[in-house]
Amino acid sequence: MEYQGDIDDIPRMPGTRERFGILETSVSRTPLHYHDYAEISYFTGGSGVETINGICHSLQAGTVSFLLPNHMHTIQSAPDQFVRKYCCMFDVQLLFGYQEDGEFSRLLHTVGTELPSFGDFTGSEQETMQSIFQSLLALTHETQTPVLRHMIRTKLTEAVLLFLRSASHNQSVLKSPNATQTFRQTQLFWPVLRHVHVHYREPISLEELAQRFHLSVSYISLAFKKYTGSTFVKYIHQLRVESAVNMLRHTTISVTDIAHEVGFASFRTFARVFREIKGVTAKEFRGMLGAIHG
């Protein structure tokens, strides 16, 4: 449940250093998160729900979702299922080459506000979109050449344009009264949640958030429960524990120092919360990791 801003395993294009990566994967659940690159996904099977900036959409074969940087999103598959998808992550600038197209850029940046973040493709359009993602995946295995970036950009642009055309036909989804009201309500909350994801290691309270974002304590408290399914305190605890888990996995820092690093004011609170969430103590968790890798 971290801010995923600069994931190292997204390759960068030679010369320009723009990030581009694509993978074929199956997921049952992704926690609520955001990142500073764009993401377009094509779903090939399974069923579930994806929520982007508080707007939910059912997932099925042929669904395409598009995320601009900093869009909050989460996936939950149907019970005992996985959703299968191609997930393409990239810097938006990769789409524009050396000269930005003003109209293309304007349309792109209305996704999630004027245009919906989802589309369901059927028939020949579904086949075309799947073929594009298969081609993009194949291109990542080719030897780097001067034209490879342009080939990737061409295929990626085609996928985004097909999505924008479909989204433009479905603008009414976001213009319905319920969707408009939901969007306005969630737009107040997402800056709060982004702030929490960045600053959860620091002392943070509902009162401080209310003052910073000019909202009431009760609104923020209720919004956490409504949009994350968790209370504010439990959400902070989960973020801190997941951060501690990463440090236990990848560092030799002492458990006491980790408790302090991830934002707990006292080791006693850290120990209690970690055990409640993980079912074992932090020391036992690290020992289990050693046994697995030993």
In a domain, 13, yes or no: no
pLDDT for 183 beyond 70:
no
Do 68 and 45 lie in one domain? The reply is yes
At residue 107, the pLDDT reads: 83
Do 78 and 195 lie in one domain? The reply is no
pLDDT for 195 beyond 90:
no
CATH, residue 243: 1.10.10.60
pLDDT for 176 beyond 70:
no
Do 40 and 149 lie in one domain? The reply is yes
In a domain, 14, yes or no: no
**Which band of pLDDT confidence, cut at 50, 70 and 90, is reported for residue 99?**
low
Cα–Cα separations (whole angstroms), residue 264 to 180, 201, 277 = 38, 8, 15
Do 155 and 200 lie in one domain? The reply is no
Give per-residue pLDDT as tens, 116-167. 999 999 999 999 999 999 999 999 998 888 789 899 999 999 999 999 999 9
**Which band of pLDDT confidence, cut at 50, 70 and 90, is reported for residue 109?**
confident
- Pairwise pLDDT comparison (86 vs 96), residue with the higher score: 86
Do 191 and 169 lie in one domain? The reply is no
Q: Which of 1-15, 27-41, 49-63, 191-205 has the lowest mean pLDDT?
A: 1-15
d(CA 166, CA 64): 10
- State which of 229, 246, 267 marks the end of a domain: 229
Q: Rounded to 5 degrees, what angle do the CA atoms 168, 169, 175 make? A: 75
Q: Tell me the pLDDT of the chain averaged across its residues.
A: 85
In a domain, 38, yes or no: yes
Do 171 and 181 lie in one domain? The reply is no
At residue 5, the pLDDT reads: 46
In a domain, 90, yes or no: yes
Do 164 and 62 lie in one domain? The reply is yes
Do 101 and 215 lie in one domain? The reply is no
% of the chain with per-residue pLDDT over 90: 52
Do 48 and 139 lie in one domain? The reply is yes
At residue 40, the pLDDT reads: 97
In a domain, 160, yes or no: yes
Closest CA to 39 of 165, 160, 169: 160
Do 272 and 289 lie in one domain? The reply is yes
Q: How many domains does the chain have?
A: 3
CB half-sphere exposure, 23, CA atoms < 13 A: 7
Do 79 and 100 lie in one domain? The reply is yes
Give per-residue pLDDT as tens, 230-273. 899 998 998 899 888 878 887 889 999 999 999 999 999 999 99
pLDDT for 175 beyond 90:
no
Burial 68-80 (b: 16+ CB within 10 A, else e): beebbbbbbbeee
Do 225 and 241 lie in one domain? The reply is no
Residue 167 tokens, joined: 């989204």
At residue 227, the pLDDT reads: 76
At residue 3, the pLDDT reads: 40
Host domain of residue 183? 177-229
What's the predicted TM-score (pTM) here?
0.66
CATH, residue 140: 2.60.120.280
Sign of CA dihedral 200, 202, 204, 209: negative
pLDDT for 38 beyond 70:
yes
In a domain, 212, yes or no: yes
